Amino acid sequence: MSFDYTEIIDFLPDATFVIDSRGVVVAWNRAIEEMTGVSAAEIVGKGDFVYAVPFYGKKRPILIDLVENRNPQLRKHYDVKVIGKKTLHAEAFVASAYGGKGAYLSGLAAPLYDKAGNYVGAVESIRDISDQKQVEETLRQRTNMLEETITALKVLLRESAAAKEELEKKVLANVKELILPFINELESTLTERAQKVYLETIKINLSEITSSFSKKLSSLYHGLTPREIQIADFIRQGKSNKEMAYLLKISVSAVDFHRRNLRKKLDIKGKKINLRSFLLSHIG
């Protein structure tokens, strides 16, 4: 088959290669040459899983071979996600990448068809996500440090009321200096909606530690439940009912129920007062 887009592939920033329907390499771009140390001249025209050798040291099926593979048993051996109808995604640490330096790689593979709809080959694009993984690991370490700090805070608060103010300052400093910067850095690298939602939940929970809103609300209105305080804070942040339901894993009708209870307990039920505006002006 003819690949008129070979030159375009050669200049793509991500490591990319193409195989035909027989599994023979027909394109191997500059980025993948740099990643593997194998030149296009050495590998183009060769088949029999030869493209797996630079990554795994032996000939074996890899992500690109699962695109049109109809054997479900083979797919079970790989942690693969399907994006859309045909594109496959997987991540792995490859120790041999970049001359043995190693790297976390993220791959996307998709089939290629001719004008008649016949399968004629597949393309795989590979991106180095080592920096993102490093940020995630750093975040994990900082989160562990935060948990240890909070544990120490609980123990010491039971022992000495005088230590409360100092320890609270320490927790706030740890959150602001050791956790939030890495969360913000990680946020810029995420592409999947589910990942962003969970990261947003972490940010909200951490902001609760650094905010006096919950304490102020519960002290002014003693009858509020923990869930109502949580809903009130989300409303203050401008979250929609649908967003709150997704983050709290409850129904939209349950969010509506809590909103009605809030209006009643805040003594604004039946009044033409915006709940968010009320919370911002009376609580902060």
Is residue 1 domain-resident? no
Query: Where does a domain end: 128, 163, 185?
Result: 128
pLDDT of 3 reads 46
**How far is it, in rounded angstroms, from Cα 199 to Cα 215?**
24
User: Which among 151, 182, 208 is the end of a domain?
Assistant: 208
Do 12 and 116 reside in the same domain of the chain?
yes
In a domain, 40, yes or no: yes
- pLDDT at position 208, please? 62
Q: Alpha-carbon distance 236 to 118, whole Å? A: 55
The domain of 57 spans 6-128
Is there a contact between 205 and 197 (Cβ–Cβ < 8 Å)?
no
Summary mean pLDDT of the chain: 80
For residue range 113-169, list pLDDT tens digits in order.
988 989 999 999 999 888 888 888 888 888 888 888 888 777 776 666 655 666 666
**pLDDT at position 44, please?**
93
Q: So what's the pLDDT on residue 2?
A: 46
- What is the predicted pLDDT for the residue at 11? 83
Domain CATH code at residue 235:
1.10.10.10
pLDDT in tens, the chain (284 residues): 444 567 788 888 899 999 999 999 999 999 999 888 899 999 999 999 999 998 888 898 888 988 877 556 666 666 788 887 888 888 888 887 787 788 888 889 999 998 898 999 999 999 988 888 888 888 888 888 888 888 877 777 666 665 566 666 666 666 666 676 667 777 777 777 767 777 777 777 766 665 555 566 665 666 788 788 888 888 888 889 998 888 888 899 999 999 999 899 888 888 888 988 888 887 65
Q: What is the pLDDT of residue 125?
A: 93
Task: Judge if 69 and 11 occupy the same domain.
Answer: yes
User: b/e per residue, 89-103, with b = 16+ CB within 10 A?
Assistant: bbbbebebbeeeeeb
Residues found in the chain: 284
Q: Where are the alpha helices (DSSP H) in the chain?
A: 6-10, 30-36, 40-43, 53-56, 72-75, 97-100, 130-159, 164-174, 180-187, 193-210, 213-220, 226-237, 241-248, 252-265, 275-282
* pLDDT value of position 76: 65
**Number of domains the chain contains:** 3
100: Cβ–Cβ under 8 A, 6 or more apart, which residues? none
Tell me: do 188 and 263 sit in the same domain: no
pLDDT for residue 160: 64
Q: Give me the pLDDT at residue 72, please.
A: 63
Name the pairing type of β-strands 119-128 and 15-20: antiparallel
